[in-house]
């Protein structure tokens, strides 16, 4: 078990593609760390640098106390699960799992015991004699996991291991992965572009964009207090609503105003927003923090909206709303009766408003 520390990591491909930009990370011992971000943001590249499959352009990587920049992959004591599983097609499941141990000259008895243990954990004992092509997608996934855990490495690396599975199996394997980690307690670094996977699996999550780390934190921390507009919009489904508003002052109170919106700035945000008086900011509000107003809701936190689409999902109803010139999505109770074309008075939860700088996109 070990911590993994990245200091000032950069990666240039062919001298000009700057794929990873000055990444600093401190991944704790026994932690399940998830890298998430849109495709091409440098997650895989970062992971491959940790694995030793990709040269580090600048910066240092430590696994445990050791600086591993110049260590070959085999000497880093890590195991990696690839997106396409990379099972050795000519070997049986047993041999696939045993290969790493054989290479490391483990005794036959020990190899058999470890493969047996791992296959019991993963429920693949009856598959040990088969070849990879005789397995289903989910089974291959398990074998790939088994091959990683037999070695008892210091760190597990996962590169989108679930993305080749169908939706149902993916949810199931996600739960199993989480259990597996709780049972083994090995430090794990997991790459995905799926924000749901990131939120459900990660002890902490790293959100990346264009090779830059946007924010690191526990899932709910990222969800409730996103550091940038990108993080706010990337996590959560449906995504957070954004509106460009102007900060003004009326009757001694700060307000954010745009066509169709006139919202009072809640008292805890006043200090933060005052420097932006007279300028535009981006207001963010999550769909679940919007609701249909009742008479009791204070005028300061309500606005008018026109219903354009009603999506009845069962556990919730999504309303696509036209607000002024912009659009918003609201998630409301499934019991409300609304139809296309209705004019509604909506209310929002003032404690859950987010404000972002228009230029830097950083949270205010």
Partner 1 sequence: MIEGAAWRRWIFFRIPLLLFILVLLFPFYWMVITTFRPDGELYRPWNARNYNPFWTWYPTLEHIRYLFAETQFATWLWNTMLIALASTAISLVCGVLAGYALARLNFPYAGSLGTGIFITYLVPQTLLFIPLSEIIRAYKLGDTPWSLILTYPTFLIPFCTWLMMGYFKAIPKELEECARIDGAARWQAMLYIVIPVAVPGILSAGIFAFTLSWNEFIYALVFLSSPAQKTVPVGVVSELIRGDVFFWGPLMAGALLGSIPVAIAYSFFVEHYVAGLTGSVKG
d(CA 309, CA 193): 28
- Comparing CB distances to ligand ADP, the nearer of 163 and 246 is 163
Instruction: Rule CB under 8 A: say whether 108 interacts with partner 1.
Output: no
d(CA 308, CA 331): 14
Q: How many residues bind ligand ADP (CB under 6 A)?
A: 12
Instruction: Rule CB under 8 A: say whether 53 interacts with partner 1.
Output: yes
DSSP 287-338: GGGEEE--TTS-GGGEEEEEEEEEEE-SS-EEEEEEETTEEEEEEE-TT---
Instruction: Rule CB under 8 A: say whether 99 interacts with partner 1.
Output: yes
100 binds, among Mg ion, ligand ADP, partner 1, none (CB under 5 to 8 A by kind): partner 1
- Comparing CB distances to ligand ADP, the nearer of 45 and 154 is 45
40 binds, among partner 1, Mg ion, ligand ADP, none (CB under 5 to 8 A by kind): ligand ADP
Residue 340, class by beta-carbon neighbours within 10 Å (0-12 exposed, 13-18 middle, 19+ buried)?
exposed
Instruction: Rule CB under 8 A: say whether 219 interacts with partner 1.
Output: no
Those residues with Cβ within 8 angstroms of residue 231's Cβ, 6 or more apart along the chain or in another chain = 207, 214, 215, 222
106 binds, among ligand ADP, Mg ion, partner 1, none (CB under 5 to 8 A by kind): none
Q: If you compute the radius of gyration of the chain from its CA atoms, what whole number of angstroms results?
A: 25
- Comparing CB distances to partner 1, the nearer of 99 and 301 is 99
- Comparing CB distances to ligand ADP, the nearer of 39 and 294 is 39
Tokens 């009845």 correspond to 312
Q: How near is the Cβ of 331 to partner 1 at its closest, in Å?
A: 40
Six-digit token string for 53: 């499959």
Q: How near is the Cβ of 153 to partner 1 at its closest, in Å?
A: 9
User: In this structure, what are the phi and psi dihedrals at residue 279, rounded to the nearest 5 degrees?
Assistant: -115, 170
Six-digit token string for 139: 């089974």
Six-digit token string for 322: 């036209």
List the x/- string, 71-90, binding to partner 1 by CB under 8 A.
Answer: -xxx-x-xxx-xxxxxxxxx
Q: How many residues bind partner 1 (CB under 8 A)?
A: 28
d(CA 229, CA 92): 48
d(CA 153, CA 68): 15
Angle at 290 between CA 284 and CA 291, to 5 degrees: 170
- Do 21 and 191 contact (CB within 8 A), yes or no? no
In this structure, the strands spanning 241-250 and 280-285 are antiparallel
Instruction: Rule CB under 8 A: say whether 146 interacts with partner 1.
Output: no
Instruction: Rule CB under 6 A: say whether 13 interacts with ligand ADP.
Output: yes
- Comparing CB distances to partner 1, the nearer of 53 and 270 is 53
Instruction: Rule CB under 8 A: say whether 351 interacts with partner 1.
Output: no
Instruction: Rule CB under 8 A: say whether 276 interacts with partner 1.
Output: no
145: helix, coil or strand? helix
Instruction: Rule CB under 6 A: say whether 17 interacts with ligand ADP.
Output: yes
- Comparing CB distances to ligand ADP, the nearer of 15 and 65 is 15
In this structure, the strands spanning 78-81 and 155-159 are parallel
- Comparing CB distances to partner 1, the nearer of 79 and 329 is 79
**Which residues, 21 to 50, sit near ligand ADP by CB under 6 A?**
37, 39-45
List the x/- string, 8-47, binding to Mg ion by CB under 5 A.
Answer: ------------------------------------x---
Binding residues vs partner 1 (CB under 8 A): 51-53, 72-74, 76, 78-80, 82-90, 99-100, 103-104, 132-133, 140, 147, 151
Residues of this chain that interact with ligand ADP (CB under 6 A) are 13-14, 17, 19, 37, 39-45
The residues that touch Mg ion, with contacts defined as CB under 5 A, are: 44
């Amino acid at each position: 078990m070990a911590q993994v520390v990245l200091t000032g990591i950069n990666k240039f491909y062919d001298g000009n593609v700057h794929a990873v930009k000055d990444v600093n990370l401190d991944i704790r011992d026994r932690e399940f760390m998830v890298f998430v971000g849109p495709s091409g943001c440098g997650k895989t590249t970062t992971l491959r640098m940790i694995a030793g499959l990709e040269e580090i352009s600048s910066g240092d990587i430590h696994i445990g106390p050791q600086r591993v920049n110049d260590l070959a992959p085999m000497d880093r004591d890590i195991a990696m699960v690839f997106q396409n599983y990379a099972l050795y097609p000519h070997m049986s499941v047993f041999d696939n799992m045993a290969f790493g141990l054989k290479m490391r000259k483990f005794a036959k008895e020990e190899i058999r015991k470890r493969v047996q243990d791992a296959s019991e954990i993963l429920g693949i004992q009856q598959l040990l004699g088969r070849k990879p092509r005789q397995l289903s997608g989910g089974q291959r996934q398990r074998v790939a996991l088994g091959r990683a855990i037999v070695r008892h490495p210091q760190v597990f690396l996962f590169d989108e291991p679930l993305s080749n599975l169908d939706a149902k199996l993916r949810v199931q394997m996600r739960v199993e992965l989480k259990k597996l980690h709780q049972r083994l307690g090995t430090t794990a670094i997991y790459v995905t572009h799926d924000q749901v996977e990131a939120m459900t699996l990660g002890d902490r999550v790293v959100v990346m964009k264009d090779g830059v780390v946007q924010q690191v934190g526990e899932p709910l921390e990222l969800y409730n207090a996103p550091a940038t507009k990108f993080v706010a919009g990337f996590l959560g489904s449906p995504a957070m609503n954004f509106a460009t508003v102007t900060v003004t002052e009326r009757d001694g109170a700060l307000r954010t105003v745009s066509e169709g919106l006139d919202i009072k700035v809640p008292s805890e945000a006043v200090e933060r927003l005052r420097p932006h008086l007279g300028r535009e900011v981006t207001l963010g509000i999550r769909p679940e923090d919007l609701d249909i107003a009742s008479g009791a809701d204070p005028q300061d936190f309500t606005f008018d909206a026109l219903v354009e689409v009603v999506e009845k999902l069962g556990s919730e109803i999504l309303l696509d709303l036209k607000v002024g010139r912009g659009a918003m999505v609201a998630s409301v109770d499934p019991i409300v009766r609304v139809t296309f074309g209705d004019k509604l008075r909506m209310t929002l939860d003032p404690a859950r408003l987010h404000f972002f700088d228009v230029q830097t996109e950083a949270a205010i």
